[in-house]
Amino acid sequence: MKAYDHKKIEKKWQEAWAKAKIYETKDSVPGRDNFYLLVEFPYPSGNLHVGHWYSFAIPDILARKFRMEGKNVLYPIGFDAFGLPAENAAIKNKVNPREWTESNIDYMRGQLRSMGASFDWSREILTCDPAYYKWTQWLFLQLHKSNLVYRKETKVNWCPNDKTVLANEQVIDGKCERCGHEVVQKEMLQWNIKITEYADRLIDDLEKLDWPEPIKESQRNWIGRSEGAEIDFPLDIGGEKMKVVYLHGFESRPDRPRNLWYKAGLEQLGYEVVIPTLPNPDFPSEEEQVAAALNATTYDENTVLVGHSLGAVVAMKVLEKLDKPIARLVTVGGFCNRNFKDRPRNFDAKFNWTFDGEKIRRNAKSITILHDPRDTGISDDQAKALSELLNTPITLGVSNKPHFTGDTEPDVLMWLRPTIRVFTTRADTLFGATYLVLAPEHLWVTLALQHKTVLKNNGEVAAYVEQAKKKTELERQENREKTGVKLEGVEAINPATGERIPLFVADYVLAGYGTGAIMAVPAHDERDHEFAKKFNLPIKQVVARVLRAVSGGDAVRSDVGWKERDAVMAVVKHWANDECLCIQWKEHEMHTFPSGGIEQGENAADAAAREAREETGYKNIEITKQLGGFDYIEFYHQIKKTNVRARFRYFLGRLRDDERSAVSAGESAMHEVVWKRPDELRAFLMLKEKDRILDLLAGKEEGAYTGQGIVVNSVGFDGLTVEEAKKKMTETFGRRKTTYKLRDWIVSRQRYWGVPIPVIHCAKCGIVPVPDDQLPVLLPETDDYLPDGKGKSPLAKVASFVQVKCPQCGGQAERETDTLDTFVDSSWYFLRYTDPLDEKEFAANEKQANWMPVDLYSGGAEHTTMHLLYSRFWHKALFDKQLVADSEPYLRRMNRGIILGPDGQKMSKSHGNVVDPDEIVERLGADTVRMYLAFIGPYNEVASYPWNPDGVVGIRRFLERVWRAQEFVTESSKIDDKKYTAVERVLHRAIKKVGDDTDQLKFNTAISQLMILLNAIEKEKQLGAEQWNTFLKLLAPFAPHVAEELWHESGHDSSTHAEPWPVFDPKLLLDEEVAIVVQVDGKTRDEIKIAADASKEEVEKAAREKVASRLEGKQIVRTVVVPNRLVNFVTS
């Protein structure tokens, strides 16, 4: 027997497999199902570490096993070759990033080959190859066509060290993911992709994916959907005297509910509202209507003129006739031509359709054009014409009924009056909103500051806003002390209570989330509570908690009904001692404070005093204060025999002296009065609410109550549950709204080594996409990769690249010089593997159809909210363009853990604990490294495993024992021979378990089963040739070289990897004789060996005999027999 020489055989077989091209995957093979096994392709960092082995060599086990099972497996490889490190290395070492990248790739190819992995190298792709990025550019332009790409001045994360913009996902704890430098916020013109438009689908489609739950959950959290409401708070700006003149439309009347609703809303703010009656609304003419409008009132600089629909035309005609300007013109669903979407109108000929746009503009200091794209009559083109006429951008509105004809139209009202719109998930607490908070960047704040006279403390607010904007993410995170400034001179009106409430700017409200403004409910939100405490703002309870008795005599019963009532409880202190007045009931299990219901018209505090007097006889009780607010207490009333849901208030009182009148006979028969010291109360009281009352008594500071409960102090809504009130208040005061934490994806990078964004800036034509036939836009060669630090890409310095003819007008234009985020490259690479050489398409439909969607995608948890989310989005965008056939790219996801250094720390050069796989492969062989990593623990977990150098040796020992086991193989292959049967049963169990465990990604237990099998073989010291063949086939996916070598050693010419996966015989899975545990009273006492097919009775009988001595003198009350497992005798 030759010695096991891993170096020789690994080299030999790797070359042989490559030469035979056995892993070059055909698009389809008759009789075989296609299986697409994808691993995240590596970044060409230059050197493979153990983590790479874990990523690539372990999934290879699956690839090989699935092939043996008859699947046509695609297991491709490529390189995510663009990106910052190449460029940083280029700057540091003065080498070309392309050369650096290519030489790294060359080196890594060799290392990857040394794994003995069955990659199909013929499909290799490089994202920095123009043949690849041509299609990255093309796909980007497809998204651009779908209006998913836009350019916007955005506050972005800027890394001053890498001198580039980072995506939100690339900022970890306020620091750059790549270099660790602190990230600053910067306003820059950036390319964005509207991933937010897909937020719902990205969450909802997770349902149908076979992914680990933690990954799905992280994506859901990251997208951060929350359902809530938008509520408008009207502003009252002191000194503003406005008159609103409202001109209704065609076939309308001044007294339509909607118009009256507008009137009420505006008058609430002290506005004067005029709604002229316009003559002949069903057959209107310009002359009559304009005259009526002009006669109805006077127009001056305090007038807001509103025209709905045709009213807008009338309004413009009115403006044409005025000789001095008004404050504002608002058109609602207005128009200036007759190109209606639906039908012609009868007023067509009675109006003059030419307008003096200039005069109208001169006569209105500001103009708002409100248009709803879902309008059934007014087309977008009509709105656009109006916008051009008045030289004013369109404000998009949402109507409740098309054309803003609902009974209420909040969007219109919002534009008629200054309003702050807030987003809240707790609409039920609206009555408790005692102030508003705006983010420092809120538009209204910005406008007010510009205006200068709106805020009385303009300077102070300006200073705060300035300072808040300068804070970095890190500073915001470190110092969470609430800060803010009140906006003096402005008040908002709580739409529910009508109360005037103050406004603040504070940086605890984020501009980027919701509407950038919140209603603050300090009683029921911790942040608002903290702020209110600091600024001494009122805290108003509007939700009462529900305390339910669940044990003891007053526990709520399911068999009786409910009674509701208002109640009070009195905590009365002794006149001299530190004791409280308590009541102990005689016939019932009740220990309480005096309490009872409030009588008709009675004051709550008086009721508390009265109850205490009546129940105890003490006369001189004075109530000193209320403790806390409302609580609902639910309990079973033992005397009235009914459940009670009582809305309680607690009062603190004092007894002046011991003067006492006789307690009524009824009362004294039921209970007696006892005095308890505070330290005895906890033990004495049985009420559910005692902890809360005792906390209140102790004067413990009460924070915000954020839980469920019942609404109080909210006229018209009292008694509703939180959930019911949310719904009802949203309907009454606002509208439903869903918001997301997810931000749009900023894809431009101001760096050299990436895909040029294929766009041209033309002074005349604006942004012009590069035509398809001019793709790819090649990355130009340059020696100057240094970014300028101000946000200009190095490409901007390459004049020959920048200067270009505009493809539309032919004039001189400039190329976009930013490059794309590398996550764009990797958002579609798996599609390219299906058709890697196609020059006409990014991947032909029929080629995609062979493989997509990916059957199993393996990778790390670090990509959960980055690559994995981006590529799902990208795929959906392509799906909507019908460029791909599925809405999700990956059916099943498996998650790889992390390999730590031998010291249990993350591997890093600074720790000096880096394990070099090349060295171990050299010393122990690739098969050992593969198998050790597979054996270290379950693969599909978010977990980390330390590399144990001794453990690796154990696997090497196993392979050497396998090698030596060839000695035991006899020529005979007759497995029915008695001497082989012991091994045969273990072998069949192994076939089952290795197969099952591998499918479930539990490679560690699959390998342990191979070890058990080998142990059995060594014990018998002989096995048949067929058994040996089967063993090698089971081993093949795990240790491909050893298995192949031994396979050939035992006389085969074919490859073991092309062999079919063994099949087990179910009959052989169980031993003929099984060991059955015998328990007495659940304790294992002995075991019996008995034929596997023995009957229940036989088993029980044998067991009883076995433990007869222990059963002596005992009564068996029950016998439990679990087939092939145990017998349990239960004695009395």
Partner RNA sequence: GCCGGGAUGGCGGAAUUGGUAUACGCAUACGACUCAAAAUCGUACGUCGAAAGGCUUGAGGGUUCGAGUCCCUCUCCCGGCACCA
Q: How far is CA 123 from CA 119, 385, 833, 1122, in A?
A: 9, 54, 6, 55
Name the residue nearer to RNA (CB basis): 621 or 1090: 1090
474 forms part of the interface with RNA (CB under 7 A) = no
- Residue 861 engages RNA in binding (rule: CB under 7 A): yes
> What is the secondary structure of 20-42 as a DSSP string?
HTTT---S--TT--EEEEEEPPP
Binding test (CB under 7 A) with RNA, winner from 320, 937, 1022, 1102: 937
Q: How far is CA 926 from CA 49, 266, 959, 980, in A?
A: 13, 79, 11, 32
- Whichever of 160 and 937 has its CB closer to RNA, that residue is 937
Nearest CB to RNA, comparing residues 642 and 1131: 1131
The answer to whether residue 185 forms part of the interface with RNA (CB under 7 A) is no
Choice between 266 and 519, CB closer to RNA? 519
CB 319 within 8 A of CB 364: yes
Token pair for 41 = 């392709």
Among 82, 945, 1028, 1061, which residue interacts with RNA (rule: CB under 7 A)?
A: 945
Residues 214-243 that bind RNA (CB under 7 A): 214, 217-218, 221-222, 224, 226, 228
Q: Is residue 1107 within 8 Å of residue 1129, measured between CB atoms?
A: yes
Based on its alpha-carbon atoms, the radius of gyration of the chain, rounded to whole angstroms, reads 40
Q: Name the residue nearer to RNA (CB basis): 228 or 1062.
A: 228
764 contacts RNA (rule: CB under 7 A): no
**Cβ nearer to RNA, comparing 807 with 946:** 946
Near RNA in 600-619, by CB under 7 A: none
Q: Is 448 exposed, middle or buried (0-12, 13-18, 19+ CB in 10 A)?
A: buried
Question: Which residue in 501, 468, 500 sits closest to 484, CA to CA?
Answer: 468
Q: Is 1126 in the site for RNA (CB under 7 A)?
A: yes
The reply to whether 995 sits near RNA by the rule CB under 7 A is no
- Work out how close the CB of 428 gets to RNA at its nearest, in angstroms, rounded to a whole number: 10
Looking at the Cβ atoms of 395 and 1004, the one nearer to RNA is: 1004
Min separation Cβ 1104 and RNA, Å: 15
Instruction: Report the distance separating Cα 28 and Cα 47, nearest Å.
Output: 34
State how beta strands 1126-1131 and 1116-1122 pair. Answer: antiparallel
CA distance 921 to 113: 12
Stretch that binds RNA, among 152-160, 254-262, 1000-1008, 1022-1030 (CB under 7 A): 1000-1008
Looking at beta carbons only, is 113 or 1110 nearer to RNA?
Answer: 1110
Q: How far is CA 350 from the centre of its chain?
A: 57
Contacts of 527 (CB under 8 A, 6+ apart): 482, 508
Q: How far apart are CA 110 and CA 386, in angstroms?
A: 66
Using CB atoms within 10 A of its CB, is residue 1121 exposed (0-12), middle (13-18) or buried (19+)? middle
- Cβ 491 vs Cβ 503: under 8 Å: yes
Residues 802-821 within binding reach of RNA (CB under 7 A):
none
Question: Is 942 a residue that touches RNA (CB under 7 A)?
Answer: yes
H helical segments located in 299-455? 310-321, 357-362, 380-390, 410-416, 443-451
Q: Does 935 bind RNA (CB under 7 A)?
A: yes
Q: Does residue 628 belong to the site contacting RNA (CB under 7 A)?
A: no
Helix axes 917-924, 50-68, angle to 10 degrees: 60
Indicate the SS3 state at residue 160.
coil
Site string for RNA, 957-976 (x = CB under 7 A): xx-xx---------------
The reply to whether 708 sits near RNA by the rule CB under 7 A is: no
| Complex with RNA: residue 122 or 944, whichever CB lies closer | 944
**Please, which residues bridge with residue 38 across strands?**
857
**Of 13-72, which residues contact RNA (CB under 7 A)?**
none
Among left, alpha and beta (phi > 0; psi -120 to 50; other), residue 651 is beta
Three-state DSSP class for residue 191 = strand
**Which of 157, 190 has the CB closer to RNA?**
157
Task: Mark residues 1080-1099: x for contact with RNA by CB under 7 A, - for none.
Answer: -xxxx--x------------
Using the contact rule CB under 7 A, the part of the chain among 475-483, 694-702, 872-880, 1056-1064 near RNA is: 475-483
Total Cβ atoms within 10 A of residue 544: 23
Question: Residue 2 Cβ, how far from RNA at the closest point, in Å?
Answer: 16
Residue 1079 binds RNA, judged by CB under 7 A = yes
Tokens of 511: 């501009």
Residue 835 touches RNA, criterion: CB under 7 A: no
Distances (CA, A) of 269 to 235, 242, 416, 443, 728: 8, 10, 11, 21, 24
Measured CA to CA, the distance from residue 630 to residue 367 in angstroms comes to 49
Question: Taking contact as CB under 7 A, which single stretch among the options 376-384, 561-569, 910-918, 944-952 is the one that binds RNA?
Answer: 944-952
Task: Provide the 8-state DSSP code for 907.
Answer: P
Q: Residues 489-508 vs RNA: string with x where CB under 7 A? A: ------------------xx
CA quadruple 653, 655, 661, 664: dihedral sign: positive
Report the 10 Å Cβ neighbour count for 91.
16
Query: From the list 1004, 1022, 1050, 1104, which residue makes contact with RNA (rule: CB under 7 A)?
Result: 1004
Q: Binding to RNA by residue 1112, rule CB under 7 A? A: no
Stretch that binds RNA, among 117-125, 686-694, 764-772, 929-937 (CB under 7 A): 929-937
Interface with RNA (CB under 7 A), residue from 22, 274, 604, 953: 953
**Least spacing, CB of residue 216 vs RNA, in Å:** 9
Q: Is 1071 in the site for RNA (CB under 7 A)?
A: no
Q: Which residue has the tokens 């068996």?
A: 1116
Which is closer to RNA, CB of 271 or CB of 873? 873
Cα separation, 754 vs 127, in Å, equals 9
Using the contact rule CB under 7 A, the part of the chain among 128-136, 373-381, 443-451, 1006-1014 near RNA is 1006-1014
Q: Which residue in 433, 422, 489 sits closest to 460, CA to CA?
A: 489
Find the binding residues for RNA in span 869-928 (CB under 7 A).
none
Q: Which is nearer to RNA, 849 or 1130 (CB)?
A: 1130
Q: Are 811 and 762 in contact (CB under 8 A)?
A: yes
Out of 10, 230, 411, 525, which residue is the one contacting RNA (CB under 7 A)?
525
- Of 338, 200, 4, 286, nearest to 1041 (Cα)? 4
180 binds RNA (CB under 7 A): no
Residue 1020 touching RNA (CB under 7 A): no
1025 scored as a contact of RNA (CB under 7 A): no
Pick one of 2, 21, 341, 1125: the residue that binds RNA (CB under 7 A): 1125
Specify the residue, 241 or 1118, whose C-beta has the smaller distance to RNA.
1118
Segment contacting RNA (CB under 7 A): 37-45, 825-833, 916-924, 943-951? Answer: 943-951
Task: Tell me, by CB under 7 A, how many residues bind RNA.
Answer: 78
Binding mask 415-454 for RNA (x = CB under 7 A): --------xxxx------------x---------------
Of 17 and 211, which has the nearer Cβ to RNA? 211
Beta strands 621-637 and 546-548 are parallel
As a whole number of angstroms, the distance between CA 851 and CA 26 comes to 11
Scanning 134-142, 713-721, 762-770, 1004-1012 for contacts with RNA by CB under 7 A, the matching segment is 1004-1012
- Compare residues 695 and 886 and give the one whose CB is closer to RNA: 695
213 binds RNA (CB under 7 A): yes
Q: Where in 732-761 is the site for RNA (CB under 7 A)?
A: 739, 741
